Amino acid sequence: MIPSHTETPRLFQRMLSGRMVHLLDPSPLDIDIVGDFLIGISREPRWNGQTVGDEAYRVAQHCVLEERVLVERVWRTAPRQARLYVLIHDLAEALLKDLPSPLKAAIKANGYGEVEERLDRAIRIRVGLPATLPLEWEENRKRAERILAVSEAVRLGCWSEKDARRDVGSSFRGKLWDGEMVAWSEARCREEWRKKYIALGGAL
């Protein structure tokens, strides 16, 4: 069982805004979405930085593209709030980092999963989404994630398509995403993410 803030009172991350976010028991009131957390995901590389190009392929760009994949390939009639959820679904990585999926799966049952869910829940509340998500939202997000992750592995990570489909996509057989996937600068990541966030009605 992960302890609470009363049991670990000093386990805070000081953010650039001056806010203090407790890493094990975060409060929605301490979360600055378009400041602290957007800065974090606009600097955090996907794939441990093992991607082609002079710029890192960042978590913020991945989130923007995943929202596009959701609407273009998975759920064309997705409600605005479901699209917003896809855009913000990796914001926790501003603090918890983008761990490789096999490592995350290995440590999830040892407390990591609970820490991640506590932060995800605080973020959802902060942006005005339900603390507990509709199953349909998460199922469709995972479908979009699968398409995009396999496409990233092939087009940015230099994986063979066979290996990417098998190991990243759990034997995914669908069409890869063929939209733009050139890594953006840190500044463009923030600009594109913030623009989409506002368009989808995210709480400022």
Overall average pLDDT of the 105-114 stretch: 92
Task: Check residue 4 and give its pLDDT.
Answer: 72
Instruction: Enumerate residues 6+ apart whose C-beta is below 8 A from 82.
Output: 70, 75, 134, 136, 137, 140, 141
Find all residues with CB under 8 Å of 63, minimum gap 6, and list them: 41, 86, 87, 88, 89, 90, 91, 193
13: which DSSP letter? E
**For residue 165, which amino acid is it?**
R
Has residue 2 been placed in a domain?
A: no
The pLDDT score that the predictor gives to residue 5 is 67
Instruction: Judge whether 1 lies within some domain.
Output: no
Residue 4 lies in a domain: no
In a domain, 5, yes or no: no
User: What distance in Å separates the CA atoms of residue 113 and residue 130, rounded to the nearest whole number?
Assistant: 19
Give how many domains the chain has, as a whole number.
1
| Lowest mean pLDDT segment, chosen from 6-15, 73-82, 90-99, 109-118 | 6-15
Q: Domain residues for 111?
A: 12-199
Mean pLDDT over each residue of the chain, to the nearest integer: 95
Is 203 a residue whose pLDDT tops 90?
no
44 in the Ramachandran plot: left (φ > 0), alpha (ψ -120 to 50) or beta? beta
Q: Report percent pLDDT > 70 for the chain.
A: 99
Write the DSSP string, 142-187: HHHHHHHHHHHHHHTS---HHHIIIIISSS--SPPP-S--PPPPHH
114: Cβ–Cβ under 8 A, 6 or more apart, which residues?
Answer: 1, 2
User: With contact defined as beta carbons under 8 Å apart, do 95 and 123 qualify?
Assistant: no
Within a domain: 180: yes
DSSP 110: G
Residue 40's pLDDT band, with cuts at 50, 70 and 90, is very high
Tens-digit pLDDT profile for residues 64-76: 999 999 999 999 9
Residue 3 counted as domain residue: no
**Is residue 38 over pLDDT 70?**
yes
CATH number of the domain that residue 49 is part of: 1.10.3210.10
Residue 204 within a domain? no
